[in-house]
Amino acid sequence: MELHLATTSKEGTALGGGWCNNRRSCLFRSTTALGSSNYMDKIYFSAILSNKSEENPDFYNWNKVRVRYCDGASFTGEGYDNESGLYFRGRRIWSAIMEELMGIGMSSAQQALLSGCSAGGLASVLHCDNFRALFPSQTTVKCLADAGLFLDYVDVSGLHGLRSFYDGVLTLQGVAQNLPERCTSRMNATLCFFPENIVNGIETPMFLLNAAYDTWQIQYSLAPSSAIQDGPWKFCRLNYSKCDSSQIEFLQGFRKNMTTVAESFYQSKATNGLFINSCFTHGQSVLPDTWYGNNSPSISNKGIAQSVGDWYFNRSEVKLIDCPYPCDTTCHNLVT
């Protein structure tokens, strides 16, 4: 049984679902596919969700469910805003979907994998142990977070921009009450929305798949348009080939921080898995070319699908961290 927490995507394209952090952005979101089923298009099952053995050798014959992302807080919101008239029901949506799926057969699964990409990857982190608790102890349950390792890193203007953004998400949507108490009891709740502060405490086996130079984080967290205006990061943030040596050095610092977090996560539990490649992209389990293509990204000659399969089925330990840019020639880099 494979359950995938999906951000908005179209066939051949991975698009981040993100979050909304104020009334204006949440009101707008409610008029789109990210906030209402009235606007949702057809969904596609490909890559990790493919039913073709040549595209998805380890999971092609599994039962699969793709969960639409529609709440703007990685399925953790709980509240009502009087001024906007918006209900934030992410946690209730999650619970209702799980109840429905368990009632129609998921409860009898012998193996289960909760996966997610981008904001869905964060949701996979936040709900992993809760997902595990749904099943009997004899069921093999694991979680995969793709492009969900969002870091609390200082941006190019010297500020913690993503932390401020997340603070708005938590405040407006009442998220704090649904975050792990083991984290909120020792630090500010906003920090507990960052995977780096919670992954080491997750009891369920988890696999982190992430690009070390995550393009979403570069464009919206490290060098957001609000921080750069017409400055030197205007072109670098969209195309790594336009970066000068000092900008590359900054990005190498970001990579170093990510690999440090990843190393600590891997060491926290022997059943965890890791694939951190030095690519400029965002989301690699949801696209056929990066998941299991003839020239898909690899580290030490091992691709992403094989790595996840080896980890899930205990064929081998998987701890793969790439060398720094520009050493990897297998990347499918994104540029604008």
Q: Which residues are catalytic?
A: 118, 214, 282
Contact 243, 251 (CB under 8 A): yes
Q: How far apart are CA 128 and CA 82, in angstroms?
A: 32
Q: Which residues contact 247 (CB under 8 A, 6 or more apart)?
A: 232, 233, 236
198: phi then psi, degrees, rounded to nearest 5: -130, -20
Contact 213, 327 (CB under 8 A): no
C-alpha distances out from residue 244 to 96, 222, 224, 250, 327, Å = 49, 16, 18, 10, 17
59: phi then psi, degrees, rounded to nearest 5: -125, 10
Q: How far apart are CA 20 and CA 296, in angstroms?
A: 33
Q: Which has the closest alpha carbon to 69: 22, 14, 23, 1? A: 14
Q: How far apart are CA 81 and CA 238, in angstroms?
A: 35
- Structure-token pair, residue 101: 């799926």
CB atoms within 10 A of CB 298: 19
Q: Which residues contact 326 (CB under 8 A, 6 or more apart)?
A: 278
Q: How far apart are CA 166 and CA 169, in angstroms?
A: 5
